[in-house]
A and B are shown apart, each in its own frame.
Chain A
Amino acid sequence: AQSVSQHNHHVILSEAASLELGCNYSYGGTVNLFWYVQYPGQHLQLLLKYFSGDPLVKGIKGFEAEFIKSKFSFNLRKPSVQWSDTAEYFCAVTKTNFGNEKLTFGTGTRLTIIP
Chain B
Amino acid sequence: DADVTQTPRNRITKTGKRIMLECSQTKGHDRMYWYRQDPGLGLRLIYYSFDVKDINKGEISDGYSVSRQAQAKFSLSLESAIPNQTALYFCATSDLRVPYEQYFGPGTRLTVT
Contacts and interface: CB of A to CB of B under 8 A. Distances in A.
Interface of A: 6, 9, 32, 34, 36, 42-46, 49, 51, 90, 94, 98, 101-103, 105-108
A98 B31 CA distance: 13
Q: Is the interface of B mostly helix, strand, loop or mixed?
A: strand
A44 B40 contact: no
A108 B107 CA distance: 17
B42 A94 contact: no
Interface in B52-79: 58
Given A94-B100, A102-B48, A103-B102, A44 B90 contact: yes
* Interface residue range, chain B: 20 to 34
Given A94-B100, A101-B94, A43 B42 contact: no
Nearest to A6: B42
Contact of B104 (A43, A51, A107): A43
A44 B45 CA distance: 14
A10 to B, nearest CB: 10
Nearest to B38: A107
- In the complex, which of the residues B40, B94, B101 has the most CB atoms of chain A within 10 Å of its own CB atom? B101
Given A43-B105, A43-B107, A44-B90, A9 B40 contact: yes
Contacts of A102: 33, 45, 48, 58
B108 to A, nearest CB: 11
B101 A49 contact: yes
